[in-house]
Amino acid sequence: MSLGALLLLADGRLPSGGHAHSGGLEPQIANGRVRDVDGLAGFLRGRLATSGLVSAAFAAATCADVGRSAELDAGLDARTPSPALRRASRAQGRALLRAGRAMWPIATIGREPHQPVALGALAAAAGLTPAEAAIAAAHGTITGSASAGVRLLGLDPYAVHALLARLTPECDRIAALAAARSGDPVDELPAAGAPLLDIGAEHHATWEVRLFAS
């Protein structure tokens, strides 16, 4: 395991644009569905089981074979019905590639790949395994939203990080499931969806005032 590279990819300070996105949390807070740490816990568990699993699987698959990046990118498009979420994913993928290319030589995978595809390609360039790429993807799925929760609700950051610690076993389990599918055909990779997040993202995109891009 290249522990240093894995920590670098999972570091929230990596300039990949993730700080500008709440992972769909902002509209759920506005609708009153998430109000406190317990509500945030439910949101993060749901996100991990749906978009987290999908992101981890596609990051692992890309890391295993960067030559599949185009078809994997198209597969993610098919699994992302919300145009707003597709734009957000590609914006984060573009920013992640820009940061990654400052560190490692990355294979050409298109100008604006989805974030999980960009993460998988970056993991491969860093010498990581598909399992490690899946860990980074699953971890990022919940930490970004958790950070947004602190900012949007004024939550105690210690309580939120305690929550993240409690979610570590589930994060590892999702990553292991995703990595085990890294060699599957695109059509057989996970396609877990969260319709409420898709709907929320479309409403959020129409707001004149918002703290996060998504």
pLDDT digits (tens, 9 = 90+) for 70-108: 999 999 999 999 999 999 999 999 988 888 888 888 877
pLDDT at residue number 33: 93
Phi/psi for 7 (5° steps) reads -65, -35
- Domain 20-185 is classified in which CATH homologous superfamily? Urease accessory protein UreF (1.10.4190.10)
What's the Cα-to-Cα distance from 92 to each of 15, 29, 33, rounded to whole Å?
10, 22, 26
Q: Which residue reads 């929550």 in tokens?
A: 163
Cβ neighbors of 179 (< 8 A, separation 6 or more) are 56, 60, 129, 130, 131, 133, 134
Angle between helices 157-166 and 168-180 (to 10 degrees): 50
Taking only the tens place, the pLDDT of each residue in 132-177 is 999 999 999 999 999 999 999 999 999 999 999 999 999 999 999 9
The percentage of residues in the chain with a pLDDT greater than 90, rounded to a whole number, is: 72
CA distance 208 to 197: 19
**C-beta of residue 22 within 8 angstroms of C-beta of residue 16:** no
13, pLDDT greater than 90: no
The percentage of residues in the chain with a pLDDT greater than 70, rounded to a whole number, is: 96
The pair of structure tokens assigned to 82 is: 């919300």
pLDDT at residue number 79: 95
pLDDT at residue number 82: 94
What's the Cα-to-Cα distance from 155 to each of 27, 134, 171, rounded to whole Å?
17, 28, 22
The pTM assigned to this predicted structure is 0.92
CA distance 152 to 25: 9
Mean pLDDT of 125-133: 93
